[in-house]
Amino acid sequence: MLLLPSGLVAPSQRTIAPFALHRPGSVAEAVTAGALPGAVYAQGCSDLFAQFREGLRCESLVALDRVDGLTEVAARDGALLIGSGVAHHDGAHHAQVRAALPSFAAAWGRIANHRIRQRATIGGNLMARRTRYEMSVMLQALGARLLFHTPEGPLELDAAALWDRPEPHGALLTSVVVPDTGGVWFGYERSMRPLATAAVAVRGDEVTLTVGSEYTRPHTVRLALGEDPARAAAALPDTVGDAAASAEYRRHLAGVLLRRLLDARTDELKEAM
């Protein structure tokens, strides 16, 4: 074991205590198993390995790979529904995702590396709740909703609510819903990662900017199309800053990235004319 300021960290998986394995076939069975004390859901396990090394207590692992419906992708009433078990590679290359939100699909295809993208899922990326992971930044800007099945029944949350941990133990994320895909322009900038990433969604005259970083939860501001990006980014709260970059510097970066993305949108519109 290593002693770090954050506590004891096991450098290998050999120190993991034995646990029971559940392999449910339906959402209902998964939630029943997931509600047990010490139960942990598992999808691609790419983050769980790190969690085990960080000292995760797990009495039973609920593997979700056989659960019906979690890998579904569907377009419904202008919204795009993505199952929580859709792997990064599959989602980024899915015909319906590419047709509905081409730049989101392209951004999704750039996260992590090829090996991780084959196994790791959108649901695991969100539910790991690590500020350095990018899905919540993109989905927050897109106004996505998160659909859960919990031991108490269905639950629907705004993507931003994830960081408040409002759902009960045993809540299973089943899908992510992006509304009104027909009326949205989306852009994503990760060139300044890990200091700052920026996702922008434009719907009509309203621009939503969500700024992420390795170190703090994503923050969102809304502005009108045509408003000065630097002024809009200045409205980001002080909590956007931390020891790695002051709030003032992150606001500056956010303004630069926002301007870049809005310029890219203008160029695309000109090309399309």
- Residues lying near ligand FAD in the complex (CB under 6 A) are found at 40-48, 51, 64, 84, 111-113, 116, 120-121, 123-125, 127-128, 133-135, 172-173
> Shortest Cβ distance from residue 35 to ligand FAD (Å)?
12
Q: Which is nearer to ligand FAD, 81 or 232 (CB)?
A: 81
Q: Which is nearer to ligand FAD, 120 or 139 (CB)?
A: 120
> Shortest Cβ distance from residue 122 to ligand FAD (Å)?
7
Q: Which is nearer to ligand FAD, 176 or 262 (CB)?
A: 176
Residues facing 76 on adjacent strands: 79
> Shortest Cβ distance from residue 59 to ligand FAD (Å)?
13
Q: Which is nearer to ligand FAD, 143 or 170 (CB)?
A: 170
Q: Which is nearer to ligand FAD, 28 or 235 (CB)?
A: 28
Q: Which residue is nearest to ligand FAD (CB)?
A: 124
Q: Which is nearer to ligand FAD, 101 or 172 (CB)?
A: 172
**How would you write the chain as a 3-class SS string?**
CEEECCEEECCCHHHCCCCEEECCCCHHHHHHHHCCCCEEEECCCCCHHHHHHCCCCCCEEEECCCCCCCCCEEEECCEEEEECCCEHHHHHHCHHHHHHCHHHHHHHCCCCCHHHHHHCEHHHHHHCCCCCCCHHHHHHHCCCEEEEEECCEEEEEEHHHHHHCCCCCCCEEEEEEECCHHHEEEEEECCCCCCCEEEEEEECCEEEEEEECCCCCCEEEEEECCCCHHHHHCCCCHHHCCCCCCHHHHHHHHHHHHHHHHHHHHHHHHHHC
> Shortest Cβ distance from residue 193 to ligand FAD (Å)?
8
> Shortest Cβ distance from residue 230 to ligand FAD (Å)?
27
> Shortest Cβ distance from residue 68 to ligand FAD (Å)?
13
